[in-house]
Each structure stands twice: as C-alpha cells, then as structure tokens.
Structure 1
C-alpha cells in the first residue's frame, strides 16, 4: 500500500512533531502530513524557537495550533511516526487497532535513536533537533511506498 498520509506525534505538539510536519510538508514526497501531541493543550502555538528554526529551513509554523492525539487522527493516517520509542509503545497500548502503522520517525529513517526534545532549550538545541529530524526524513525511501 502506498503511503498517502503521515501523522507525526510527540508529547505537546509544540516542538518536535510540528517541526517534523513542517519539514516533511516542505519536501516533494507526495504525502499529506499532520502532527499531534499525546499531552497537547489544544490550540497552543508552536514554540518560538521551533518557528524560527523551521523558517531557516524554508518552511513555516506560523499557522500551527497544537492538537491532541485522537483515534480519529490515527484512523486518518497510513503511517504514524513518533519521536521516541516510549511514545510508540504507549500509543500501541492505547490504540491496539492501529499498532501495525505506528513506529518511530528514526525507525522509518533506518535508525533507532529517539528524537531529542528541545523544550526549554536554546535556539541551538532546537537547531540540533531539527537537524536530527531532517536527517531521518532524508533517509526515508519515499519512492518505495514505505
């Protein structure tokens, strides 16, 4: 099955998953992308440093509003990529009907590392996290249908 929709998940949907969403949306992959947070406070903006870093990559988070992970979002997605192994495990336990499409972003990119959480960090920390996300996105073999 060709992947047409990717959901990226982190904790609060203000840093990692929105950055991953914006960076992926800016690539020519042919997939729709959304993001959500397992503990997100719905409606909140992306972190200021996340907006700056994404802009440096030619994308934007200016219109981002945090969204909490729901079963409806999981049903929408063909693939669900979390930022950490623990997040993937927790979602699989909470939503076992979707476990076959849940993995980490790093696993999709051929690695096993968690994506570092920059929350509360300085701009350079956000840059490192965005670089790590971009590296994983670049490793994914989009043309092979994932």
Structure 2
C-alpha cells in the first residue's frame, strides 16, 4: 500500500484531521484528503487547526480540495466519514469498489460533522477520527 485518501464533505474539518493523524503514524505513505462537496481553497477550520496543534500536528497549510476521479483511481485506500459518503462515492466513482471504507469501519460508527457546532463537537469527532485512524494504521502495518 502506497497511498491513503481521507474524505469528508467540505474537506475543512474531519478529513484534514484524519489525514494528519494517519500521515504522522505512517510517514512512508502518501496521505491526502478531499471533500465530496469541498469548500475549495479554504483552510482547515480554526478549531480543527487548534486541536491538531494541541497534538503537535500542523495543518495550517491545508487547503480544501474537491474529490476527483483521478484521486479515486490513484488512492490505494479511501476512508470516508459515514455510510452516506461511501454510497455517494461508490455511485460517482465505481472504480472505488473494494478500496472504499468508513474511517470508523472497525467500530462500525459514522463520524458526525462538527462544522459550526463548537469545540465539544470537534473534540467528539476527533476522538472518533483518532480511534478510526488508529485501527486503520494497525491494519495497514499488518499488511506491510
């Protein structure tokens, strides 16, 4: 496995945090993020940047990107935040079958969008993102 793509809706809250956590744990992989309805060019949400900084991870340079067919083709693993996104991407990008999963797949949980909901919602989302990222990192390490 060489590349992981983390996807949410706007690519400013959940997926940049997931990208940062996985990239820090697996520096040998190419880890990126995108959104199915990205706020293209926007930086990560201030709360996402703050929570990552508190963990020693810098996402200040992040800019939101729209998910493309090419990104889906190039990624070895695509991790989304919820079942709705998984179904949408499967429909729009049929080549993702077999490599498209929820970040919270192991725990069978969707990760709610904290956008505009304040720090407690971001902390809850980050807790789920961290648990999901850790589970996937462990799986990827076993496969490598």
Question: Following TM superposition, by how much is the alpha carbon of 1:30 offset from its aligned partner in structure 2, in angstroms?
Answer: 2.8
Q: Which runs of 5 or more structure 2 residues have no equivalent in the other structure?
A: none
Partner residue, 2:24: 26
When the two chains are superposed, the root-mean-square deviation of aligned CA atoms in Å is 1.3
In the alignment, is residue 35 of structure 1 matched against residue 55 of structure 2? Answer: no
> Runs (4+) of structure 1 moved beyond 6 Å?
none
Question: Following TM superposition, by how much is the alpha carbon of 1:29 offset from its aligned partner in structure 2, in angstroms?
Answer: 5.5
Q: Is the 8 A contact 2:12 2:39 kept in 1?
A: no
What is the CA deviation profile of residues 93-135 of structure 1, one whole-angstrom value per residue up to 9, with x for unaligned ones?
111122221111111xx12110121101112221221111111
Partner residue, 1:6: 4
Query: What secondary structure does 1:26 align onto?
Result: helix
Partner residue, 2:74: 76
TM-score, normalised via structure 1 length? 0.91
What is the rounded CA distance, in whole Å, between the counterparts of 2:63 and 2:141 in structure 1? 30
In the alignment, is residue 114 of structure 1 matched against residue 114 of structure 2? Answer: no
What is the rounded CA distance, in whole Å, between the counterparts of 2:38 and 2:125 in structure 1? 19
Partner residue, 2:44: 46
What is the rounded CA distance, in whole Å, between the counterparts of 2:111 and 2:29 in structure 1? 21
Q: 1:67 aligns with which of 56, 65, 68?
A: 65
Q: Which runs of 5 or more structure 1 residues have no equivalent in the other structure?
A: none
Partner residue, 2:122: 126
In the alignment, is residue 90 of structure 1 matched against residue 79 of structure 2? Answer: no
What is the rounded CA distance, in whole Å, between the counterparts of 1:12 and 1:55 in structure 2? 20
What is the rounded CA distance, in whole Å, between the counterparts of 2:100 and 2:39 in structure 1? 22
TM-score, normalised via structure 2 length? 0.93
